[in-house]
C-alpha cells in the first residue's frame, strides 16, 4: 500500500486522482490533502 498526499484536490486533476484512488483502496491511502477553494 502506498501512502499519498494530494496537493490541489479541488482541481480537475485532483478530483480525478481521488476518484482513481477510491477505486483502488487496497493499493493507496490518502494521508494528506490540500485545497484552496470549494
* Residue 3 pLDDT exceeds 80: yes
DSSP 11: S
- The whole-model pTM stands at 0.75
| pLDDT over 90 (residue 36) | no
pLDDT band at 37 (very low <50, low <70, confident <90, very high): confident
Q: Number of C-alpha atoms within 13 angstroms, CB side, residue 9?
A: 14
Nearest to 6 by CA among 31, 25, 38: 31
Average pLDDT over residues 8-27: 94
Amino acid at each position: 500500500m502506498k501512502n499519498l498526499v494530494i496537493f490541489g484536490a479541488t482541481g480537475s486533476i485532483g478530483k480525478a486522482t481521488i476518484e482513481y484512488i477510491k477505486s483502488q483502496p487496497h493499493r493507496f491511502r490518502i494521508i494528506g490533502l490540500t485545497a484552496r477553494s470549494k
